[in-house]
Structure 1
Amino acid sequence: MTQIIESFAEISGSYDAAFVDLWGCMHNGLHALPEAVRAMQMYRANGGLVVLVTNSPRPWDSVARQIHGLGVPDNAWDAIATSGDSARAAMYRGIVGEKIWFMGESPRDDDFFQPLKIIEKPADIQKVPLEEAEGIVCCGPFDPLADVAVNRPEFLYAKQKGLKLLCANPDIVVDRGDVREWCAGALAQLYTEMGGESLYFGKPHPPIYDLARRRLAALTNAPSDPRIIAIGDGIGTDILGAQQEDIDALFISGGLAAAETKTDRQPDPDALEGYLQSHQISTLYAMGHLR
């Protein structure tokens, strides 16, 4: 049975580090969530380490600038691991070829193509029309409010050519304030359903957890065998990923699943258990909002 807690401080002493989701936990796409910020500041003041683990398709330094602008201060976190960094490394190793058809919003997603110094001989990545492409790089839809089915004609053509789709953000949707938007994961899901091959590098898939652990280990005060808890509002990303990585999890029910879990300040216990059972996913802890 999932334990519903009132505050992170109730359990934080049992963990050396927290892998914390950003969108839906630390901010809502428009501004920082003050209680969540204070919770992480308090955790760090007591010796805890905070690695922000996000399915953002951006490099970590771009995410740092973004969240600073939203009001998440630098003293609320220690390191950032992004699906964008994992996916960029794969792209520059040539996993989908050098001539790629890019899906995303420009100029917002242009940082994805920053040079990557950790690759000794990076692929010569060139953005080309779909007809000339060797693969697809997807940071998100061209229009996050449009039904992803509008891309069916292009995906049918790409599938017939045998193109692989690199998904830089496995999230299906996010809520920007009160507006729900489609993410790259919805496009990758559609492409897979149509018979194409999609490659994932964010939560719940292993590459981003490997990156998060490496970012954690690089911190000067990180223990050699840290006790880690994952915190997030995505049942199929944050919580499933934690379950697959054998990491304890704290589910924030007031984000993407607020309606299904009947969350106001806290989730309805029966609705919460029904929601978890419907997804066949378990979590050790839950709370309405990170605080």
Structure 2
Amino acid sequence: MTRIIQTLAEISDRYDVLFCDLWGCVHDGVAAMPAAVAALQAFRAKGGAVVLLTNAPRPKPSVMRQIARLGVPDDAWDEIVTSGDAAQYALVNGAVGRKVWHIGPAKDLTFFSEMAADLPKAEVDLVPLDQAEGIVCTDLFENLTEQPEDYRARLLLAREAGLPMLCANPDLMVDYGHKRVWCAGALAKLYEEIGGTALYFGKPHPPIYDLARRRLAARGIELAEDRILCLGDGIGTDVAGAAGEGLDALFVTGGLAAAEFGPDADHPQADLLDRWLAARAAAPRWSIGKVR
């Protein structure tokens, strides 16, 4: 049974490293969450390391710029690892071919232009659907107004052509301020439902965790697996990913599923939480209303 805690500090002595989700835990897409930032700063001040482990489809440099604009300071984290980073490895190794149709907004074009220094060099051309060998999906073109069903006809054409889809963000949806918007994972899910093939590299899948470990090791940070805590509000991404990696999880109930646990997002009701988790066969070691 998950134990509800009130602050990260209650359990921080048990862990040396946090794999911390970003959207919904540290910021809401509009601004940083001050209490969460303070909690991460306090964890680092005691000698811990914080990896912002995010399903953002853009590479690390782009996310660094984004969170700086939102007010997340540099002293709140040690490393950033994105789903986009992990997916780039697959792209340059030819997982979906060299001619790809990109589904996503212009701001996500950094996925193709900002590559990590340790990636092999590879030419990838962005082409229309009818010329593509594969698909790279980073987001909806207009996620504030569009629905996954708006893409059904184009995805049916892609399926008929046998195009694999590289999904750079497995999240189904996120909260943008007070508005809930769809993500690339919803398009990949629809593509699979109609018979297409989708490839995933972000949470809860292993590649993003492997990359996080490698980047910490490159910094000289040794990892004891039982001293890593995964923190996030996605039951199917953050919590499921932690379970798959054999790591402890801190489920942030005041995020995507906040309405399920009573009227006070900061203080989830234990009975509602236990029933909700049991229905999903999920058993995070800890839960918290909001990161603080």
TM-score normalised according to structure 2 size: 0.96
Q: CA RMSD in A?
A: 1.1
Shift of 1:115: 4.9
Mean Cα deviation higher: 264-273 or 185-194: 264-273
Residue in 2 aligned with 1:290?
Answer: 291
Q: Are residue 267 (structure 1) and residue 268 (structure 2) matched?
A: yes
Residue in 1 aligned with 2:105?
Answer: 105
Asked if structure 2 preserves the Cα contact closer than 8 Å seen for 1:93 and 1:119, the reply is no
Number of residues paired by the alignment? Answer: 288
Cα distance per residue 1:67-89 (max 9 Å; x no partner): 01100000000001000011111
TM-score normalised according to structure 1 size: 0.97
Equivalent residue runs for 1:55-204 within 5 Å: 55-106=55-106, 108-116=107-115, 117-122=117-122, 124-144=123-143, 145-204=145-204
Segments of structure 1 that go 5 or more residues without pairing to the other structure are none
Shift of 1:224: 4.7
Residue in 1 aligned with 2:28?
Answer: 28
Shift of 1:281: 1.1
Shift of 1:120: 3.0
Q: Distance in 2 between matches of 1:151 and 1:48?
A: 44
Shift of 1:273: 1.0
Question: 2:166 is matched by which residue type in structure 1?
Answer: L
Q: Are residue 218 (structure 1) and residue 218 (structure 2) matched?
A: yes
Q: Are residue 276 (structure 1) and residue 277 (structure 2) matched?
A: yes
Question: 1:113 is matched by which residue type in structure 2?
Answer: F
Asked if structure 1 preserves the Cα contact closer than 8 Å seen for 2:59 and 2:114, the reply is no
Cα distance per residue 1:197-219 (max 9 Å; x no partner): 00000000000000111122222
Asked if structure 1 preserves the Cα contact closer than 8 Å seen for 2:92 and 2:120, the reply is no
Shift of 1:275: 1.4
Asked if structure 1 preserves the Cα contact closer than 8 Å seen for 2:253 and 2:268, the reply is yes
Q: Distance in 1 between matches of 2:267 and 2:218?
A: 36
Mean Cα deviation higher: 19-28 or 112-121: 112-121
Q: Distance in 2 between matches of 1:233 and 1:83?
A: 16
Q: Structure 1 178/169 Cα, relative in aligned 2: closer, same or farther at 3 Å?
A: same
Cα distance per residue 1:20-46 (max 9 Å; x no partner): 000010001100000000000000000
Question: 2:4 is matched by which residue type in structure 1?
Answer: I
For 1:118, what is the secondary structure of its paired residue?
coil
Cα distance per residue 1:105-146 (max 9 Å; x no partner): 11x111101153423342x21111101110000001112131
Q: Structure 1 198/264 Cα, relative in aligned 2: closer, same or farther at 3 Å?
A: same
